Amino acid sequence: MSSILPPRPRHVGSKVRICVIASRYNEEFTDALVENAIEELGDLIPQSRVDLVRVPGAFEIPVAVSNVLNRDQPACVIALGVIIRGATAHADLVAESVTTALQGMAVQHIVPIINEVLLVDDEKQAYARCVGANLNRGKEAARAAASIIDVFQEMERTFPRPLPR
């Protein structure tokens, strides 16, 4: 895991639509992730359209992503949530389930999904990753989204799809 934010990618050239799907659970932290991601997207891709969908908890994020991808595919999806470990293995099970589902959909739909559904040990770790300036996963998610959108646009220019026969 990085200890500081990665460098900002270059600006993406064209108008794109990005969907942010975020949990409401652990609201103090998820709200900060959302605010930081959307602010950073506005700086990196000023012409972008950002749609925000809020769901009850992290476990509901994959089904909301699936719903979006089956309706109208955005250039990228950013999944945001915070899972704080407790005394049982429940948090680990939820985090693994969410990660597996998101990766499967990304590959199936060929749409980048940035997974910043964080699994942390306590509120101190959540604060550092969601609210803090040095290790802000909301900003990091936006930078990863801008970077992969740029990669996909370059791939489209380099490897255009054949015309239908």
pLDDT band of 1, cuts 50, 70, 90? very low
38-43, Cβ contacts within 8 angstroms, sequence gap of 24 or more: 38/142, 39/139, 39/142, 40/138, 40/139, 40/142, 40/143, 41/142, 41/145, 41/146, 43/8
Mean pLDDT of the 86-112 span: 93
CATH class as words, domain 17-158: alpha beta
Task: Report residue 142: phi and psi, to 5°.
Answer: -65, -40
The one catalytic residue in 6, 70, 90, 154 is 90
Mean pLDDT of the 156-163 span: 79
Supply the Cα-derived Rg of the chain in whole angstroms.
16
pLDDT band of 3, cuts 50, 70, 90? low
Q: What pTM was estimated for this model as a whole?
A: 0.89
- 11 in catalytic set: no
pLDDT of residue 30: 96
Mean pLDDT of the 31-41 span: 95
